[in-house]
Amino acid sequence: MSEKNHVDNHDFVVGDKKPGVDDYGKEYKYSPGDKVWLCVSGQREGPYKVELAEDGKYTLCDEYGISAKGGNAFDEGDLELHDPFN
């Protein structure tokens, strides 16, 4: 490794936490890119794409990758897999 690429600062923080991957123990029903319906208050909205799965919640985006619903995160129970054949 070259000297200029070496990082000695182990306290480097992005946002409120150190960069890294989510715990391997967490399993998500949906993955980024999956098409889902958002089902809240008895209404079915979308379909949207899963943008990010993090901390047990999902953020959604439209077909162009633009964050949907103000970037709010939703529980897995609020989502339903989109079936293109229905």
11 vs 52 pLDDT, higher one? 52
Q: What pLDDT score was predicted for residue 4? A: 57
Q: Which long-range contacts (CB under 8 A, 24 or more apart) does 73-78 make?
A: 74/38, 74/40, 76/28, 76/29, 76/30, 78/38, 78/39, 78/40
Give dist(CA 46, CA 48) in Å, integer: 5
Indicate which CATH number applies to the domain containing 66: 2.30.30.140
Model pLDDT for residues 6-51, shown as the tens digit of each residue: 555 555 555 565 555 555 567 899 999 999 999 999 899 999 999 9
The range of the structural domain enclosing residue 74 comes to 29-86
Task: State how many domains the chain has.
Answer: 1
In a domain, residue 36? The reply is: yes
**Is residue 78 assigned to a domain?**
yes
pLDDT of residue 17: 59
Question: What's the residue count for the chain?
Answer: 86
Q: Has residue 53 been placed in a domain?
A: yes
| Higher pLDDT pick, 80 / 15 | 80
